[in-house]
Structure 1
Amino acid sequence: MKLTNSIAPVFILAMLWASLIVIPAYHFRAEAGHSVIMSSGSVSSSTSDRFITSSDNPGVELNHNIRVTDTVGKVTVYMNILSMEGRGTDGQAYETVSFRESTTVQGLISLFDKSLRYESALTGDTF
């Protein structure tokens, strides 16, 4: 059998190349929210995110804003981030980065205004 007339060399080279360029396991979770317990007053909130885009690599982003005015009650706002990255093909976590923030106010609230923002992107030369 002549290898030059066969698909075998191309297949072997393709498999070798694919084994060298392995995308390791990756897990990312971001959550933000709030809870409000009040008798009367005003609450406004907004949340925006960017996780999947068509451009090259703008990164991920999560924003959460809340504003509470003129009330008696309790307000809690939070953001939790978990990023786990693997290395190679073993599926084990190589690096874990986590971030948590929580703010609570309780009682007579004339104004509570909180903005939470998380942004992560590759910068510089990564390869």
Structure 2
Amino acid sequence: MKKICFITSLIVVLSGCSNYVLPNGEQLGSKRWEEISDRMNKKVGLSEQELISQWGVPNGNYTLSNGSKIISYDVYNSRKDSYCEAKFLIERGKVTKWGHSGNKACGLGSASPSKLIPKTPLPKPTL
């Protein structure tokens, strides 16, 4: 009986959290924190020049036999002692695919903190 009361209490408490309303009137359950994959996915469709103007000169690049390029950036966050390599495939002058290896330093081209965005599935790396 104690187990049933505990489980019921736990369910009531946790269900209250999912309906928390933010100061701007939005429900917390309808949002999630922006992640690295969201930031990287936003680069698809940018021209190579736009990407370079946002991220700076790449640390590496490789031209494929079909003329496409892979450009890479080494991203290091000294506050979190984290590192990764962000890679972008450039086809016909546009970013078409992306990927990253390492830990969660990628995608932090600016020091801006994560923000709440609509609750959508997380984009998956395509490169």
Bin for the TM-score computed over the shorter chain: under 0.3
Higher strand share: 1
- Using the size of structure 2 for normalisation, the TM-score is 0.24
Higher helix share: 2
- Using the size of structure 1 for normalisation, the TM-score is 0.24
